[in-house]
Chains A and B, each alone.
Chain A
Amino acid sequence: MLSFILRRLLQAIPILFGVSVMVFLMVQMIPGSPLDLLLPPDASPQLIEQMKEAYGFDKPAWQQYLLWLWQLLHGNLGYSIFNGAPVADELFDALGNTFVLAIPAAFTGFGLGILLGVSAALSQGGPLDKLLSAIAITGVSLPHYWFAIVMVVIFSVNLNWLPAQGMQFTGVPTTLAGFKSMILPVITLSLIPMGVVARVVRAAVLEVMSQEFVNTLHAKGLWDRSVLLHVMKNAAPATLAVMGLQFGYLLGGSILVETVFNWPGSGNLLNLAIFRRDIPVMQATIIVLAAFFVLLNLIVDIAQALIDPRIRR
């Protein structure tokens, strides 16, 4: 098991390296100079040169890349062009705000998804299965940014129960108003994971139930509940894999929901950085989110191997 973990850790290194190259190349594709934002239109050539030198944009691309990577490996994510502040401070605050939504959304979405998927599989072909599968496919097909608006219309505009936007606390919610401001974003975010997990769980449970060992378990007189336990354990690796991916999407894809609810998370930060053409913030946000995603997949692989020894190879 230890050698499996080590091997997977080593495999993650070239991927992270590739990610860093890709993020850097993407930034190189940006038309125009990254300093256009800072400099007045009538800036003198000397001033432009001076600023380029200060930010390191005068060096050839490969040197810029190595310098950036070197700083990155030392935990320095660079400084914002927009306000000169260290990107790390801003980014980790924003990431905290994203996690505050993503974690409850993951619990809600995964919990409901597993419940829906297992219930649908156990009533395969029946009316309950049809209803639950319809709910699951709706969750996958809904444009969640639109669903968010619809919920704001119902619960904020018409019923006036919940705030339409904004984060009414810092860190973790302690007041009722804080909790209330979380409800709509969390429900919106949990929608897609619920649909995807329900569909995968249903397929995985049906697949396992069609295997012969399930007949054997029934034949030797095991209770249905114990049989279900065996089935669930065998369906777990596929479920875990999709849950890992979905949690990554909750972090990286929260940008749309954060925009609707004006939530100061990492998605909002990235959106702002894009419109301000603030390259260091863009680079840092994308690479940190991608690194989280790689780490998450790593954890899922290890968890899968813990449950199912066949995966260790």
Chain B
Amino acid sequence: MTSYAKDTGSEFPSVSSYRDLKVQESPGYWAMVRKRILRDPVTLISAAILLVIILSAILAPVLAPYDPYVGNIMTRMKPVGFEGHLLGTDETGRDMLSRLLFGGRLSLIAGVVPVSIALLIGGSLGITAGFFGGLVNTVIMRVTDVFYAFPSILLAIAICGMLGTGLFNTLLSLTLVFIPPIVRISESVTTQVRNLDFVEAARASGAGSFALMRYQVLPNVLAPILVYTTSLVSLSIILAAGLSFLGLGVSAPAAEWGLMLNSLRQMIYIDPVLAALPGVLIFATSMCFNLISDGLRSAMDVRLKV
């Protein structure tokens, strides 16, 4: 017994030698996520392509060689590579490259804005429902169930059809479409977290409901909610372009990919390549968002049950 105590005493380094050791901080969750993403070539490449698309939409006034709304009747429906028009011209002689560059603005807005607003509203509602449970949960979730009874495209078309065309109505209808699924996901992940020991511990030390939600629950449910939300952006872009394609979204002569696809549809017999261009961009953008969402999902190690 005595020898044991003596041994351990002699084996520990003195306090002074501890001071020379450098403190190593644990890398933390988000640092780990960043490291994983940096090692994932598919996500990095799609992020780079997306960045190019976003930058060219922002810089459209600088990059575009022509005014996207003014056509020249003498140079109508010219093919890709026509002199002076890199990507040809459309049915009223407007420069395609300029229109595609400007079109990215509306399409990207229609993809990101509704999902972001739906994330704020749906996330708050879902976390509130999951955190408080009981009557609050019942009211919020049953209303969500009713919205869920409509297939998403049908709901967007119905709301847009009722409210009329225009960018604002498109954004409004898509926001309403994306709130219910985000409420559901947030509620289900919050319900799993709310009764864990560390939340109980914080509650026992006197934290109020808001503090519990903000500092205990939110950091632990953010990753799955974010991953799910990013996967909706691609759907939002496709739906918004689809609404304009039907004539229910932004109206002519706006430069928007879905609307351009619609007006160029008459040209498939004349120049199919030209008619396909806006669709290529819708596809590329939504594919990038989907691949990034997948990359985030595996980097954040999120398992979603929708």
Contact of A18 among B145, B246, B286 (CB under 8 A): B145
Scoring A143, A149, A152, A289 by chain B CB atoms within 10 A of each residue's CB, the highest score goes to A143
A-B contact pairs, 30 of them (CB 8 A): A15-B149, A18-B143, A19-B149, A22-B146, A26-B159, A138-B287, A140-B290, A141-B238, A145-B261, A146-B283, A147-B279, A149-B261, A149-B265, A149-B268, A152-B268, A157-B268, A158-B272, A238-B305, A249-B153, A251-B151, A252-B153, A252-B154, A255-B154, A255-B246, A256-B245, A274-B157, A275-B247, A286-B154, A289-B154, A290-B149
Say yes or no: is A306 at the interface (Cβ < 8 Å to chain B): no
Stretch at the interface among B4-12, B71-79, B160-168, B204-212: B160-168
Chain A residue nearest to B289 (CB atoms) is A141
- Are A149 and B248 touching (Cβ within 8 A)? no
The distance from the CB of A64 to the nearest CB of chain B, in whole angstroms, is 16
The distance from the CB of A245 to the nearest CB of chain B, in whole angstroms, is 8
Taken residue by residue from 74 to 89, chain B's Cβ proximity to chain A (1 for < 8 Å, 0 otherwise) reads as 0000000000000000
Query: With A26-B159, A157-B269, A256-B246 known to touch, is A141 a contact of B151 (CB < 8 Å)?
Result: no
Say yes or no: is B227 at the interface (Cβ < 8 Å to chain A): no
Contact of A19 among B146, B265, B278, B287 (CB under 8 A): B146
Docked pose: A34 CA to B191 CA in angstroms: 45
Query: With A26-B162, A286-B158 known to touch, is A141 a contact of B286 (CB < 8 Å)?
Result: yes
- Are A143 and B241 touching (Cβ within 8 A)? yes
Docked pose: A30 CA to B162 CA in angstroms: 5
Q: What residues of chain A lie closer than 8 Å to B246, measured between beta carbons?
A: 255-256, 259, 271
Docked pose: A134 CA to B124 CA in angstroms: 34
Say yes or no: is A293 at the interface (Cβ < 8 Å to chain B): yes
Chain B residue nearest to A289 (CB atoms) is B154
Say yes or no: is B152 at the interface (Cβ < 8 Å to chain A): yes
- Are A290 and B150 touching (Cβ within 8 A)? yes
Say yes or no: is A131 at the interface (Cβ < 8 Å to chain B): no
- Are B279 and A153 touching (Cβ within 8 A)? no
Query: With A141-B286, A141-B287 known to touch, is A15 a contact of B159 (CB < 8 Å)?
Result: no
Docked pose: A237 CA to B148 CA in angstroms: 19
Say yes or no: is B282 at the interface (Cβ < 8 Å to chain A): yes
Q: What residues of chain B lie closer than 8 Å to A207, measured between beta carbons?
A: 303
Docked pose: A259 CA to B261 CA in angstroms: 13
Contact of A252 among B145, B151, B242, B279 (CB under 8 A): B151
- Are B150 and A282 touching (Cβ within 8 A)? no
Docked pose: A16 CA to B147 CA in angstroms: 11
Residues of B within 8 A of A (CB): 142-143, 145-147, 149-154, 157-159, 161-164, 234, 238, 241-242, 245-248, 261, 265, 268-269, 272, 275-276, 278-279, 282-283, 286-287, 289-291, 294, 303, 305
Docked pose: A30 CA to B169 CA in angstroms: 12
- Are A137 and B279 touching (Cβ within 8 A)? no
The distance from the CB of B115 to the nearest CB of chain A, in whole angstroms, is 15
The distance from the CB of A132 to the nearest CB of chain B, in whole angstroms, is 14
Query: With A143-B282, A149-B275, A253-B154 known to touch, is A294 a contact of B287 (CB < 8 Å)?
Result: no
The distance from the CB of A73 to the nearest CB of chain B, in whole angstroms, is 17
Query: With A157-B272, A249-B151, A252-B150 known to touch, is A270 a contact of B157 (CB < 8 Å)?
Result: yes
Count of CB-CB pairs between chains A and B under 8 Å? 130
Q: What residues of chain A lie closer than 8 Å to B248, measured between beta carbons?
A: 274
Residues of A within 8 A of B (CB): 14-16, 18-19, 21-23, 26-27, 29-31, 137-138, 140-143, 145-147, 149-150, 152-153, 157-158, 207, 238, 248-249, 251-253, 255-256, 259-260, 270-271, 274-275, 282, 286, 289-290, 293-294, 297
- Are A146 and B153 touching (Cβ within 8 A)? no
Docked pose: A142 CA to B152 CA in angstroms: 17
- Are A282 and B161 touching (Cβ within 8 A)? yes
Q: What residues of chain B lie closer than 8 Å to A22, measured between beta carbons?
A: 146-147
Top 7 nearest A-B pairs by Cβ distance? A146-B279, A252-B151, A18-B146, A252-B154, A274-B161, A253-B153, A141-B287
The distance from the CB of A35 to the nearest CB of chain B, in whole angstroms, is 16
- Are A18 and B290 touching (Cβ within 8 A)? no
- Are B150 and A293 touching (Cβ within 8 A)? yes
Q: What residues of chain B lie closer than 8 Å to A29, measured between beta carbons?
A: 162-163
Docked pose: A157 CA to B149 CA in angstroms: 39
Query: With A14-B142, A256-B245 known to touch, is A289 a contact of B286 (CB < 8 Å)?
Result: no
Scoring A146, A157, A248 by chain B CB atoms within 10 A of each residue's CB, the highest score goes to A146
- Are A143 and B146 touching (Cβ within 8 A)? no
Scoring A31, A141, A158 by chain B CB atoms within 10 A of each residue's CB, the highest score goes to A141
Contact of A146 among B147, B282, B289 (CB under 8 A): B282
- Are A249 and B272 touching (Cβ within 8 A)? no
- Are B283 and A142 touching (Cβ within 8 A)? yes
Docked pose: A30 CA to B287 CA in angstroms: 35
